[in-house]
């Protein structure tokens, strides 16, 4: 059983909900990524999502785009990130998900990419720009190599398509709380609970909600109806500010750890 599957199984048995923090990989460098991941408490985080910087992402808002641009300007290299994770994976207590554009996967070749990700210690993939109709190969490779594919469902996705996405997604489903790009919002969509209930009728798999979740109150509200809350822009905003101040890797890791502690407070 993969670390990711085990984490969700353990949460379900304990009747607990999940926090899934997102950070930008290799930002401001690979060493800082490792420091942040080592600082995350596996008792508070079901897993960590690592966004792979890319020059033309399709679902990321301005905060995450800023971090991508800065990482690329600093010379981000995927192999350097994978190597750093591979060398320090035993010191990281949380499962890892790569959020990556299919352009990167395709350029390397799906099998080569999934194998490299798995060898580096990733436990799953999210590929937001991969269409359902083209996801079969990557999903099959993920199952074979124990690096499964997590699919995203939008509020505009029709019922039939939701069921097909849910069937392909392992071990949970990523539900976008709103259409559009990532970013902090002042409030959650009023129809969130209804959409999650509709999706739950299509699957027995855990449902984790992302997009717009930024505060402990948001986490509490999301986890009242879903199995987990995904927080990205609020965390990356704090990373951006720390990088602007020229803080050390240890200081950035502490900033992220402190925020994750605040966000996970409602789940304790």
Summarize pLDDT for 198-243 with one digit per residue, the tens.
Answer: 999 989 999 999 998 999 999 999 999 999 999 999 999 999 999 9
Measured N-to-C along each axis, helices 78-88 and 110-120 cross at an angle, to the nearest 10 degrees, of 40
Number of Cβ atoms within 10 Å of the Cβ of 254: 16
Q: What residue spans define the domains of the chain?
A: 3-260
Helix (H) or strand (E) holding 78: helix 78-88
* Contact indicator for 114, 145 with CB cutoff of 8 Å: yes
pTM of the model: 0.94
Summarize pLDDT for 152-210 with one digit per residue, the tens.
Answer: 999 999 999 999 999 999 999 999 987 655 555 667 878 999 999 999 998 999 999 99
Using CA atoms, how far apart are residues 251 and 229, in angstroms rounded to an integer? 25
3-state secondary structure of 216: helix
Question: Which residues make Cβ contacts (< 8 Å) with residue 4, sequence separation at least 6?
Answer: 47, 95, 97, 123, 124, 148, 171
- pLDDT the model gives residue 58: 72
* Contact indicator for 122, 82 with CB cutoff of 8 Å: no
Catalytic residues: 49, 60
* Contact indicator for 173, 206 with CB cutoff of 8 Å: yes
Domain 3-260: assigned CATH number: 3.20.20.70
What is each CA distance from 62 to 27, 199, 241, in whole angstroms? 16, 29, 14
Question: What is the arrangement of strands in the sheet containing 48-51, beginning at the earlier edge strand?
Answer: 149-150, 124-126, 96-99, 48-51, 18-24, 228-231, 207-210, 173-176, 152-153
Summarize pLDDT for 102-121 with one digit per residue, the tens.
Answer: 999 999 999 999 999 999 99
Using CA atoms, how far apart are residues 169 and 8, in angstroms rounded to an integer? 14
């Amino acid at each position: 059983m993969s670390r990711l599957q085990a984490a969700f199984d353990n949460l379900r048995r304990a009747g607990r909900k999940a926090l899934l923090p997102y950070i930008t990989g290799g930002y401001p460098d690979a060493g800082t990524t490792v420091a942040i991941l080592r600082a995350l408490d596996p008792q508070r985080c079901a897993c960590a999502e690592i966004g792979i910087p890319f020059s033309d992402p399709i679902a990321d808002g301005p905060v995450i785009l800023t971090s991508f641009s800065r990482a690329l300007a600093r010379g981000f290299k995927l192999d350097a990130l994978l190597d750093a994770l591979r060398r320090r994976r035993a010191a990281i207590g949380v499962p890892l998900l790569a959020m990556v554009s299919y352009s990167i996967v395709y350029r390397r070749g799906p099998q080569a990419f999934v194998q490299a990700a798995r060898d580096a210690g990733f436990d799953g993939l999210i590929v937001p720009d991969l269409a359902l109709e083209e996801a079969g190969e990557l999903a099959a490779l993920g199952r074979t190599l124990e690096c499964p594919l997590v699919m995203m469902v939008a509020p505009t996705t029709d019922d039939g398509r939701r069921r097909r996405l849910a069937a392909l997604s392992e071990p949970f489903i990523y539900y976008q709380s709103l259409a559009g790009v990532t970013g902090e919002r002042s409030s959650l969509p009023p129809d969130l609970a209804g959409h999650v209930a509709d999706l739950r009728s299509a699957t027995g798999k855990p449902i984790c909600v992302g997009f717009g979740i930024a505060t402990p109150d948001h986490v509490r509200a999301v986890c009242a109806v879903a199995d987990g809350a995904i927080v990205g822009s609020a965390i990356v905003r704090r990373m951006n500010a720390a990088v602007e101040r020229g803080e050390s890797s240890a200081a950035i890791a502490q900033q992220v750890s402190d925020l994750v502690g605040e966000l996970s407070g409602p789940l304790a």
